[in-house]
Amino acid sequence: MPALPAFSEPWQSTLHWQPTPAQKALFQQLYDGILLGNQQMNLTRITEPTEFWEKHLWDALSGIAPWLSAAEAAPDWLPPQETVRAIDIGTGAGIPGFPVAIALPHWHVTLLDSTQKKVRFLQELAQMLQLTQVTAIADRAEFLAHQLSHRELYDVALLRAVGAAATCAEYALPLLKLGGIAILYRGQWNDDEYQPLEAVAAQLGGQLVAVRSWQTPLSQGARHCVYLQKQHPTADAFPRAAGIPTKSPLTP
C-alpha cells in the first residue's frame, strides 16, 4: 500500500495540532483499510495518498479544530470534553468519524449509514484499528432520531457531504442533547445563507453559533464549517419521514 505523507508543518500551521506517531500509524492503517474496502464496494474516489490526506484526513479534522488546539481560546459554545458522544451521520467510508476518533480517542463515535454492507465493513475496520470507542449502525437518521435510545443522546453530530444545510440540521438536531453541537462541513458558504439556516435551526430548537472558514493547505480550496447548537428540545415531528428532509428541506 502507498504511504501517506506526514505533512507535519501543514498540520501545525493550519490546525495547531500534531498527530502522535501512534496516530500517524492509525491514519495509515485507516487508509490501507479503505483502499482494500474500495476494491469490494464504492467507498471513495479519493485514493491518491496526498489527496486522501488533504480531502479526507485534514478535512475531517478541520471541523473539530476547536477541540484539537490548545493554542486558541475555546469558544463559549464548546461542550465539555470529559466524555463526548459523537455521531457521524451518513458516514460512507467512515469519514469524518474515523479520523475524529483517532485524533480524539476519548470521544465515543457512532458511524451511521443506511447501507448494511458499508456498516459491516466499518465494524470490521474499527476492530482492525482497535478503536473500541467506535461503533457502526445501519439505519437512517430519520428513523434513528425517533428512537428513545438515541434521541437527544449525542454531544456532537458530524455531517459531511450529506445534503443541503437545512437537511443536515433536521437530521442532526433531534439527535443532540441540549448544548450539543452539529458540525456541517461545507465547501462554499455565502453570507446570504445565514438567515435562512438560522430560521430553520430555530424551528428545530437550535441556533447558528459560528461559521469558520479555511483554505485547504495543499490545493487552497475553500472550506467552511457551520456550527449549530441545540438550545431547546426539538419538536416530536422532526425529523420528518424518510426521504422528506432531502426532497423538501425546511424553509424559513
Can you give the pLDDT at residue 188? 87
Residue 106: which of 86, 129, 127, 126 has the closest Cα?
86
pTM of the model: 0.96
Give me the CATH number covering residue 142: 3.40.50.150
159 burial via Cβ count (<10 Å: 0-12, 13-18, 19+): buried
Can you give the pLDDT at residue 115? 95
Can you give the pLDDT at residue 243? 95
Q: Is 89 inside any structural domain?
A: yes
Q: Is 3 inside any structural domain?
A: no
Q: Is 240 inside any structural domain?
A: yes
Beta strands (DSSP E) in the chain are 84-89, 107-113, 134-138, 154-160, 176-186, 206-215, 222-230
Q: Evaluate whether 182 touches 228 at the Cβ level (below 8 Å).
A: yes
Q: Is 163 inside any structural domain?
A: yes
d(CA 61, CA 199): 28
Can you give the pLDDT at residue 30? 98
Helices (H), 93-252: 97-103, 116-129, 141-144, 165-172, 194-203, 244-247
**208 is in which domain, residue-wise?**
8-247
Cell of 248: 423538501
Count: domains in the chain: 1
Q: Is 218 inside any structural domain?
A: yes
Q: Is 1 inside any structural domain?
A: no
Q: Is 2 inside any structural domain?
A: no
Which regions of the chain are under pLDDT 50?
none
Instruction: Identify the residue whose cell numbers are 447501507.
Output: 115
| Model confidence pLDDT, tens digit, residues 91-145 | 999 999 999 999 999 999 999 999 999 999 999 999 999 999 999 999 999 999 9
Q: Is 115 inside any structural domain?
A: yes
63 burial via Cβ count (<10 Å: 0-12, 13-18, 19+): buried
Can you give the pLDDT at residue 165? 95
